[in-house]
Amino acid sequence: MKNFIIPIFIPHFGCIHECIFCNQRKITGVETPVSPLQIAQLIESQLAGITKPRNIEVAFYGGSFTALSVKMQQSLLMPAYRLLQTGKIHAIRLSTRPDCVNDEIVNFLYSLGVTTIELGVQSLDDNVLKTACRGHTRQDVFKAVTAVRKRPIQCGLQLMPGLPGEDYWSLISTAEEARQLTPDFIRIYPTLVIAHTKLAELYLQGAYQPLSLDQAIKRTAYIKLLFERSAIKIIRTGLQATTDLADTDVVLAGPYHPAFGELVDSYLFWVMITQFFDHWPHHNLEVVIHHHPKDTSKIRGNKNNNLHKWHQQYSFRDITLIPDGSTPGEVVISYHGQQYTLNKFMLEHV
């Protein structure tokens, strides 16, 4: 059964710190916190439009939910909890800060039907966290994950490559430590320079240089591959495309692209297949790549960029893509009279 998420945005509601990268009102397009009545009305209107069986989840995004008073948390959760009790919805998720999670809070959320908690980790480098004015430490992350694990609640982590002070070694360390925490899923949001943030001030002063799109793709691909090799789901790479994010008055700089996730997957296919081609004679040969139908555009690359580069680099007579594979992420290459099966877990590096 397919999932259907009903999003509830509570920008800055509950936040106790002003992180240098954050302007949630610009990211979500929502200016004011929602009331319990508005939540109930929104959920009911969304439910009315569902015509097929779905696994329905209410998701609270955009704030630090557990930084709110217990009374406020309860009032916001109750409309969803009542529907959960009647079977009209099937799950409740929320996002929050690692330093606002402990055993007591987790027990309370569990009692009100919360099934998933996403932690805004961003980095596991204390120097990077301090520079970003996150207000929590890597140790707070470890404690929060331990608390969530004491209940049958899914635990997700959000990572943000490209924060000030991060280098490749810091990124690798963060990714590896996050992997060792064995979360149920990961979101990866490369850092963007959003207007009216402290990071925007640093950028305009020349004190911060965001990742280029190419750098962000490569770093995200590394993280994604690391977690997928440990059977940990990556549920999103890059922010959801919106009209606001395409506005240069909102996103001043940084690796924003409306199809960022597709670019990351295309890069992984390019590395995988290129590593194979590098080990075989290739001049004036015909190549056939069998693949899953969902992977066609990813193998081609944005504007057929992967195909163009392979033609230029190896002087193939032709490259034919045949979407007849059964396993996403896997290709079978008919090449030089033989067939070879490749998948992303065979990658030596990214």
Average pLDDT on 310-327 reads 91
pLDDT at 18: 79
Q: What percent of the chain has pLDDT over 70?
A: 93
Could you say which DSSP state residue 98 is in? Answer: G
> Taking the domains of the chain in order of start, what are their residue ranges?
3-257, 265-346
pLDDT at 344: 77
Q: Give dist(CA 77, CA 85) in Å, integer.
A: 12
What CATH number has the domain spanning 3-257?
Answer: 3.20.20.70
Q: Find the helix or strand (DSSP H, E) in which 43 lies.
A: helix 36-48
Q: What is the pLDDT of residues 77-103, one digit of tens each?
A: 999 999 999 999 999 999 999 999 999
Is it the case that residue 274 has pLDDT exceeding 50?
Answer: yes
Average pLDDT for 23-34: 60
Higher pLDDT, 335 or 68: 68
pLDDT surpasses 70 at 25: no
Q: Examine the pLDDT at 244 and tell me if it is beyond 90.
A: no
C-alpha distances out from residue 70 to 8, 14, 99, 135, Å: 18, 11, 15, 21
List the Cα angle 162/200/132 in 5-degree steps: 50
The candidate with the shortest Cα–Cα distance to 255, out of 138, 160, 165, is 160
pLDDT tens digits, one per residue of 192-237: 999 999 999 999 999 999 999 999 999 999 999 999 999 999 999 9
Contacts of 236 (CB under 8 A, 6+ apart): 187, 188, 189, 261
Residues paired with residue 96 on neighbouring β-strands, in sequence order:
119
Instruction: Indicate the fold that domain 265-346 takes in CATH.
Output: Glutaredoxin (3.40.30)
pLDDT at residue 31, as a whole number:
46
pLDDT digits (tens, 9 = 90+) for 123-133: 999 999 999 99
